């Protein structure tokens, strides 16, 4: 795997670790430490923190696990299907970024609170989207 492809799996692993941590603390009924700011408890215990009784963070962990797996497989098999794997990564990252924008808007405008762990995930998702978008834009016509 070339050195320029390592940021995607590394960021995906970091996003997975953050999401998994938030999901586990939610399931345990604990609140993540938020560095002296009391926003994490409000955000992670709000009605927006779950979908059908499952913490949003668990869905995030699944997203980042998928991004990690696909980016590793793509890096180890640089053949023609690489294009399709990159487009799949792009779709997942775009969907994740749109949903993170929605959740961040809820934090700021509905809950009037900020979770630093969640903002970290939003930043990771945005970085992943930027990196993958730059790869999509650099496709050469014969590669597709």
Q: In this predicted model, which residue has the larger pLDDT, 35 or 132?
A: 132
Find out whether 128 and 11 touch, Cβ atoms under 8 Å.
yes
Tell me what the mean pLDDT of segment 64-75 comes to: 92
Annotated domain spans of the chain: 3-143
pLDDT of 144 = 46
Q: With 0-12 CB in 10 A as exposed, 13-18 as middle and 19+ as buried, what is 136?
A: middle
CA 120 to chain centre: 9
pTM summary value? 0.88
**Structure-block tokens of residue 79:** 């053949």
**Structure-block tokens of residue 38:** 């009391």
Q: In this predicted model, which residue has the larger pLDDT, 79 or 16?
A: 16
Q: Which of 10-14, 38-42, 110-114, 130-134 shows the lowest mean pLDDT across its residues?
A: 38-42
Spatial separation of the C-alpha atoms in residues 126 and 14, rounded to whole Å:
13
Tell me what the mean pLDDT of segment 109-114 comes to: 92
CATH of 3-143, one of 3.40.50.720, 1.20.1440.130, 2.40.30.10, 3.30.420.10: 1.20.1440.130
């Amino acid at each position: 795997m070339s050195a320029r492809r390592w940021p995607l799996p590394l960021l995906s692993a970091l996003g997975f670790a953050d999401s998994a941590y938030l999901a586990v603390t939610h399931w345990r009924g604990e609140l993540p430490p938020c560095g002296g700011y009391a926003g994490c408890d409000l955000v992670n215990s709000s009605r927006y923190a779950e979908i059908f009784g499952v913490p949003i963070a668990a869905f995030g962990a699944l997203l980042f696990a998928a991004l990690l797996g696909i980016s590793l497989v793509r890096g180890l098999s640089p053949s023609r299907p690489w294009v399709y794997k990159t487009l799949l990564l792009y779709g997942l990252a775009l969907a994740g970024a749109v949903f993170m924008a929605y959740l961040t808007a809820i934090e700021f405008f509905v809950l009037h609170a900020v979770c630093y762990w969640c903002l970290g995930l939003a930043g990771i998702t945005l970085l992943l989207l930027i990196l993958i978008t730059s790869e999509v834009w650099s496709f050469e016509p014969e590669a597709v």
